[in-house]
Amino acid sequence: MMEDLEKTVERCRSGDQAAWAALVGATVKPLYRLCASFSPTAAVAEELTQEVYLKLWENLDRYQEGSSFMAWAWRVAKNLLIDAHRKSRRERDAAWLDPEVLDRLPSTDDPAKTAERRQRLELVEQGLRQLDQELAELVLLRDFAGMSYSELAEAMDLPLGTVKSRLNRARLDLATAVRRRLEIRPIRTSEATAPGGVS
Amino acid sequence: MTRCDDVRTLFSAYLEGGLADAEIARVEEHVAACSSCSGLLEALRTVLAAGADLEGLEPPQAVASAVSASPCAHWLTLLYRAVDHELVPEALATLLNHLEACESCRAAWDDIALIRQVGSALEPPAQLVAKCRTAPFRRFRTPRRVMGVRTATAAAYLLAIATTLMVGNPVTLARNEAGNVFEKAQTAVHHSLKQLASDGKGELRVMIWRFWQWGERQVQATRDLLRGEDDHQNATEKTTPEQGGSS
């Protein structure tokens, strides 16, 4: 996958439109999730996605072969995303995972499951507000944009072990905030959660 | 580090399936006995499940199409920035590579460049620029007119008529006023010279006396002259009674 992306980037540099389309196709989903996580509205998420791709294209020559494209994309788009997030917080006290963005999630057949999912995401969004910016970013990159630990380490320019320990701390802080809210208003689950791993 | 903190460092790896069997057993044994860690692990499951929920979030088709199917739309934006010299050299080089390969973008580039050239050609004439440069200074040098010549003449006539009606003939007034002043001056000079002639000594007294006599004659001559003019004017007014308004 990495080698394919590298070759695709190389073709993009020479102005190949088909290569650009292939690159976007391979990366648009996680990047859109990332943009949506930082945006106050669905419309802003769309604008932000396009701005991020424009910025990626402008900086395409700075991408170094052998490095992770997603890590590089995060480094390039980081200021854009963080600025957009800060602006939205100033203007309308919005945080991550705005309800308007969550409305874009595909609905399930079971209304109870849809409501449960909605409640869960809102709980996490409220918990994210209480986290430090850097810790919240780690959770968003790993758990919402789906970046791997190695991509995170490269994006943050940190050793892998440090990334793992920081992410664990960020998750525990978030879980503590979520737990307090769960004690006040527990989620009505449609079925018992299986012990052990995550589905 | 307490036992709880020790176990909690393993929670992420436990939920992501990254622990060995012995560590899994250790976590589960502790959680079964510790309600605090059990609650925290449950909350952490909620967090990770929320992340998994978001995996279903797909970009709208319009966005995916805008950023992938027509990259030229982005490059057209860059064309404008390139014309304005706002692109970094690397991006400009990539853009030029694309222009070589893309006919539509090349046509757009030609159009934009033409618009810029036309804009540059529309420069103001040198004569107009020179006028604009000197206009403020000219304005300062030229005295400003308060009123036109005709308006000033009309105002002067009106002022003269109003003065005549309200105060009297200015010439007569001036003459009368001059007479009064003349009488006062004559009396003062007469008194002073007479004093000097009587109190002075030797040749100085004779000189002052002569000067006084000469002055007396001059004053009398001037008085006769003025009296003669007044008599003439009174005689003229009497001969034309139909015109005779008070002065």
Q: In chain A, what are the helix, strand and coil shares in percent, each to the nearest 5? A: 75, 0, 25
Name all contacts of A5-14 with Cβ < 8 Å and 24+ positions apart.
Answer: A5/A69, A6/A65, A6/A66, A6/A69, A9/A60, A9/A63, A9/A65, A9/A69, A10/A65, A12/A57, A12/A60, A13/A60, A13/A61, A13/B94, A13/B97, A14/B97, A14/B101
Q: Which helix (H) or strand (E) holds B52?
A: helix B35-53
Q: Other CB atoms closer than 10 Å to residue A43's CB: what's the count?
A: 11
* pLDDT tens, residue by residue, A111-151: 888 888 888 888 888 888 888 888 888 888 888 888 889 98
How do residues B153-201 score in pLDDT, each as one tens digit? 887 887 777 766 665 665 665 666 555 666 666 677 667 667 666 665 5
Residue B145 has pLDDT above 70, yes or no: no
- Taking contacts as CB-CB distances below 8 angstroms, the residues of chain A near B81 are none
Cα–Cα dist A15/B102, whole Å:
8
Count Cβ–Cβ pairs < 8 Å, chain A vs chain B: 168
Out of A13, A17, A25, name the one closest to residue B71 (CB). Answer: A17
Is A40's Cβ below 8 Å from some Cβ in B? Answer: no
Q: pLDDT per residue over A33-81, tens digit each?
A: 888 888 777 788 888 888 888 888 878 888 888 888 888 888 888 888 8
Alpha-carbon distance B92 to nearest alpha carbon in chain A (angstroms): 9
What's the mean per-residue pLDDT of chain B?
74
The answer as to whether A194 is a domain residue is no
Look at residue A5 in the predicted model and tell me its pLDDT: 79
Are B186 and B219 spatial neighbours (Cβ–Cβ below 8 Å)?
A: yes
Whichever domain contains A61, its CATH number is 1.10.1740.10
pLDDT score, position B134: 66
From the CA of B118, how many Å to the nearest CA of chain A? 28
Residue A195 lies in a domain: no
- CB of B12 less than 8 A from some CB of A: yes
Residue B145 is given by DSSP the state P
Among chain A residues, the shortest Cα distance to B15 is held by A197
**Predicted local distance difference test score (pLDDT) of residue B65:** 77
Give residue A111's domain range.
2-184
The torsion region of residue A169 among left (phi > 0), alpha (psi -120 to 50) and beta comes to alpha
A 75-114 residues with CB below 8 A of B? 97, 101, 104-106
Counted domains in chain A: 1
**Assigned domain for A198 exists:** no
Q: From A41, A177, A184, select the one nearest B50 (Cα to Cα).
A: A177
Looking at the domain assignment, is residue A199 inside a domain?
no
Give the closest-approach CA distance of B88 to chain A in angstroms. 8
Give the residue carrying structure tokens 């998750």.
A171
Helix/strand/coil percent split, chain B, to 5: 85, 0, 15
B18 touches chain A (CB under 8 A): no
Does the predicted model carry a pTM greater than 0.80?
no
**Which segment of A89-93, B73-77, B105-109 scores lowest on mean pLDDT?**
A89-93
Q: Tell me which DSSP letter residue A142 carries.
A: I
Q: Best interface-test mutation with A: which of B68, B74, B104 has the largest number of A CBs within 10 A? A: B68
